[in-house]
Amino acid sequence: MTAFLEALAAPWEYDFWRRALVVALMSGVVCGVIGSHVVLRGMAFIGDAVAHAVFPGIAVAFVLGTNLVLGGAVAGVVTAVLIAVFTQNRRLKEDSVIGIFFAASFGLGIVILSTAPGYGGSLESFLFGSILGISDSDVVSVAVIGALVLLCTAVFNGRFVAATLDREQARAMGLPVFRLDVLLHVMVTLAIVISLQAVGNVLVLALLVTPAAAARLLTDRLGAMMLLAPLIGAGGSVLGLYLSYALDLAAGGLIVLTLTAVFLLCWFFAPRHGLLTRPRRAAALAEEKS
């Protein structure tokens, strides 16, 4: 037991580890909360598009030597608003509009980044994350943006749920559905931006969707889901970070694999909706009826 506790405490002597842990926790919590709405609305493709949309902003910030988080946030918010506006045209399918901005944003980011020295290495860190290289200013940006996203969620959560469950009813109630869509897109963007350095552009969708999907298997209540998802996201992020330290492997990949393992456990063993527990529950209900 003593050896185990010593192993847990070992990384704490390093500043880069403490910064990485704060960002991993914050990313897991924020993505878990926002991811609940993403899963309920079936917005995974939008999340993937926004993850690529922030890329040109990060590339510009990298070339100019400014804060990467803020650069990505600006580009992502602009793209999210454009997607929300263009999808109002009923002649265009939502996935078509998303696909256009998805490809264009990522292409623009690569072009901008290619003008910077060390293009290959910087591209790899953007694509796959560099959580152990996070600076103090990045931690502050993540904390501020994350707190803002959580505050907005607390204020507008009921209206988001109403617009998700029945959009026409929400309009009849006088809710500004379009503005709520824009706000949710912006919040998804900000959640993705603060998580990019943890797991990278390629894997960030997993951090947004996987904890919420696992929580969805564990409960039928939205309130419980929005509590479980950030717990799963934060716990999986921290465990993945520890595993990366112990095994000397990529942190972003191990965070995603840890969350995926939790999802698979829920898929098989969730009390009501697990693949292996459903037949037993059905048999028990049949026995009660008989």
pLDDT tens-digit readout, 224-275? 998 999 999 999 999 998 888 888 888 888 888 999 999 999 999 888 877 7
Please tell me which residue, 90 or 267, carries the higher pLDDT value: 267
**Between 177-218 and 15-41, two packed helices, what is the crossing angle to 10 degrees?**
100
In the predicted model, is pLDDT for residue 127 greater than 70? no
* pLDDT band (50, 70, 90) for residue 3: very low
Closest CA to 257 of 213, 218, 217, 206: 206
Closest CA to 251 of 260, 264, 259, 242: 242
| Lowest mean pLDDT segment, chosen from 48-52, 58-62, 135-139, 178-182 | 48-52
Instruction: Supply the pLDDT for residue 4.
Output: 47
| Lowest mean pLDDT segment, chosen from 158-167, 170-179, 194-203, 253-262 | 194-203
In this structure, which CATH number among 2.30.30.30, 1.10.3720.10, 1.10.3470.10, 3.40.50.300 belongs to the domain 13-289?
Answer: 1.10.3470.10
In the predicted model, is pLDDT for residue 134 greater than 90? no
pLDDT, one tens digit per residue, over 36-87 is 988 888 777 777 777 777 778 877 887 787 777 778 778 878 877 777 777 6
Predicted TM-score of the model (pTM): 0.80
For CA atoms 54, 59, 64, 69, the dihedral sign is: positive
Instruction: Supply the pLDDT for residue 78.
Output: 82
What torsion do the CA atoms of 182, 212, 199, 97 make, to the nearest 10 degrees? -40
